[in-house]
Amino acid sequence: MIRLLVADDQRLAREGLRQLLSHEPDIAFLGAARDGAELVEMAGRLRPDVVLTDIRMPGIDGITAIRRLMAGPHCPPVIALTTFDTDAYLFGALEAGAVGFLLKDGDPDLYPAAVRAAHKGHGLIDPQVTRRLVHRYATPGPHAAAPKAPTRPTAAPDAAPAAVPELTARETQVLRLLALGRSNTEIADDLGIAAGTAKIHVSRILTKIGVRTRVQAAIYAYRTGLVEEDEQP
């Protein structure tokens, strides 16, 4: 059973999330916080498996709350919830350590899927967000969330994937597929390896390139030229 804690400053939104997720057979709805401060307090007391939080809240906002959760002894995976077209804080949530992003007006089926993915150590991003997210971070700049990496020439469309010095050839293949949105199972199928082996590769990749989430690893792949911006995630 996945123990879920949510946060949103709007009562109707909190009730909507409860209605949507509490009926899932594998999700236990622990409660709903009204702001970031209450979220951090409730997370420390209830120790949820996954947190789903709005970003724009009064007082302590979602980004600050995510940072505090990441710095605490109990560090649950966090999914950021936002209205993408108006919420510039979305990108700060990635830097803070969010593992997934959902839109308030997105597909409701993505909510339980994102909770399950986060619980398994994966990240799920609403497809409407992915391309704008990649476009923002694929070009180096002050907003970059992934570690800085040496600039490499972009490979021709039919060329082999660019090498990443920090990684083995197999890890480079895994990182490329991860950046294209593949799950561990899909990576394993594509490469003809066991799903457990793919999971180990992903864990090692995160450690080697110095990031905490699959989302940050995907951004790293775009920034190093391993995946081109116009490739379909």
**Cα(10)–Cα(192) distance, integer angstroms:** 47
**pLDDT of 101-138, one tens digit each?**
888 888 899 899 999 989 987 777 777 776 666 666 65
Classified by CATH at the fold level, domain 2-124 comes out as Rossmann fold (3.40.50)
Closest CA to 162 of 231, 233, 232, 222: 222
**pLDDT of 191-219, one tens digit each?**
999 999 998 999 999 999 988 778 778 88
Which top CATH class is 147-223? mainly alpha
SS (H, E, C) 104-132: CCCCCCHHHHHHHHHHCCCCCECHHHHHH
Asked whether the whole model's pTM tops 0.85, one would answer no
Which residue ranges make up each domain of the chain? 2-124, 147-223
